[in-house]
Amino acid sequence: MDPARPRTRRRCATRARTRARLGLGLAITVLAGCTATGGDLTAGSGGRGAGADGVGDPYFPLMGNGGYDVTHYDLALAYAPKTRHLTGTATLTARATADLTAFNLDLLGLTVRSVTVDGASARVTRDGQELTVRPRAALARGEEFRTTVRYAGRPRTITDPDGSEEGWLPTADGALALGQPTGSMAWFPGNHHPGDKAAYDIAVTVPEGLTAVSGGELRSTRTVDGRTTFEWHGAEPQASYTATVAIGRYRVSTSRIDADRLTEDDGIKTTDGRRELSVYDAVDPQEAGAARKPLARLPAIMAWAERTFGPYPFSATGAIVDRDGDAGYALETQTRPVYPGAPDPVLIVHELAHQWYGDSVTPRTWRDMWLNEGFATYAEWLWDEEHGGRTAQSVFDALYRGDYYDEPGADAAVWAFPPAAPPSAAQVSEAPVYQRGAMVLHRVRRTVGEGTFREVLRGWPTVHRYGTVDTAAFTAYVERVAPRHRGALRRVWATWLHGVGKPSRP
């Protein structure tokens, strides 16, 4: 939402406007790659030798599953737009982290037709979103195994505790799949918690004339008997909530960012050792005119972000711009953020910053959401400060005084709870997570000094690249980088990060 409005809406972008919903129709194949950084996924309460039916997230306790770590997803989906019927085959490659006689997958709705484990049929039971799989042979700790689930049905749109919609969103000319925090279970079975990351290859088959977009790089396109298949590849680890599929009659533009060409104007020489990045933008024709200029700034924003946050962690970038009204928010889907209507440059900055803070370095639980949104919001402040807008200090001061927003209630909401402790799932995307989270970072900046703060901005996503982290890991990291300021930093943590209410004026 626009920062001048009362609420900072979740999934990014304090400047995102409220949008509606989308629709889609076609066939899809999704494949997922290999590296992963598993969370604390251990066998749990499902009985002897059974993986837990959740990883104990403080807000979404049934999301994720214990006893295994997914390293690779291979999903084949077919979607009929007119009937909104989805047919899928999901193959998960995983490693057992405990001896298992059974394990769970998250899948909401959709009829399961069959399940196999390493090619042998497995017994399956369902209880709500929990799909319990009992393989024919027990799995030993450390063993790699492959599970294939065939399923079909009408995928659901999920309404979150905060009232926003995700999952499978139908649009006028297709559909959009969004996953934060629980929506991915509406369209493919998996270990749907940010603590378990895997890489993705996605092939999407749609009726000819439609385009299917996902994250990563487009490897091939082919049309047979009136249906077109788009094959996408994303090798880097990814939390399932940042996966997406978008289907529609998009205007597509492709290019490559030449790092050498950017050097003279923007000060970067390479992109994490690569000479260039692939860029793929998919824009609804209705938004094409308004989106042209802001999307043309992507190379310059990328160069600024690399100078500020360090090497870009992925091999591709771009945008998915759907109609104003197709979704209620922008989202940092990995490598290719989704925008509800043409974005302004600051919104692009916010979502691009998430590629470092949130996508590459992912929160270990949803309690640590401020590590995503605080950094992305502060990226907006830094961009404005360095491009002729308000300074970060002036934004901080306005928020502290209580005259940043037009409505007094919005200013008061910034102090509703500590950024690191949202009271419930309905509040993990409220103003304290975004704005007060950014204020924490500004207090760190003022405490450790400009040079050390810039080291934190670059070092944190570099040290923890592709990993999962929590708030304690961040505070410990900053204290290691700035040991002389440890005492002052701990006062920042106590008052600004964990403290209840508005701290005393700094």
Q: In the chain, what percentage of residues exceed pLDDT 90?
A: 79
Q: Which pLDDT value is given to residue 48?
A: 59
Q: Is the pLDDT of residue 18 over 70?
A: no
What is the C-alpha to C-alpha distance for residues 308 and 290, in angstroms, rounded to an integer?
Answer: 28
Cα–Cα separations (whole angstroms), residue 472 to 54, 434, 477, 490:
22, 18, 8, 12
- Give the model's pLDDT for residue 124: 97
What is the rounded CA–CA span in Å between residue 395 and residue 406? 14
Mean pLDDT of the chain: 88
* The pair of three-digit structure tokens given for residue 136, joined into one six-digit string: 């024919």
pLDDT at 1 over 60: no
Task: Quote the CA–CA distance of 403 and 398 in Å, as a whole number.
Answer: 5
Instruction: Report, as an integer, the average pLDDT of 295-309.
Output: 96
Is pLDDT above 70 for 23?
Answer: no
Q: Which of 204, 172, 208, 173 is nearest to 187 (CA)?
A: 204
Task: State yes or no: pLDDT of 162 exceeds 90.
Answer: no
pLDDT higher than 70, residue 98: yes
CA 215 to chain centre: 11
Phi, psi of 269 (to 5 degrees): -105, -40
Q: In sequence order, what are the beta bridge partners of 231?
A: 203, 220
Rounded to an integer, the average pLDDT of 308-329 is: 94
Instruction: Say how far apart CA 142 and CA 137 lie, in whole Å.
Output: 15
User: Is the pLDDT assigned to residue 213 strictly greater than 50?
Assistant: yes
The predicted-structure confidence for 370-380, as pLDDT tens digits, reads as follows 999 999 999 99
The C-alpha torsion from 294 through 295 and 299 to 304, rounded to 10°, is 40
- CA distances in angstroms from 353 to 121, 177, 349, 399, listed in the order given: 44, 21, 6, 22
Per-residue buried b or exposed e for 384-403, using 16+ beta carbons within 10 Å of the residue's own CB: beeeeeeebeebbeebbeee
Cα 204-251-33 angle, rounded to 5 deg: 30
- Looking at the chain, the whole-number percentage of residues with pLDDT higher than 70 is 87
What are the helix and strand counts (H, E) for the chain?
12, 23
pLDDT band with cut points at 50, 70 and 90 for residue 81: confident
Considering the entire predicted model, what is its pTM?
A: 0.90
pLDDT at 287 over 90: yes
Residue 342, pLDDT score = 97
ω into 181 cis (within 30 of 0): yes
51 falls in which pLDDT band (50, 70, 90)? confident
**With 50 as the cut, is the pLDDT of residue 303 above it?**
yes
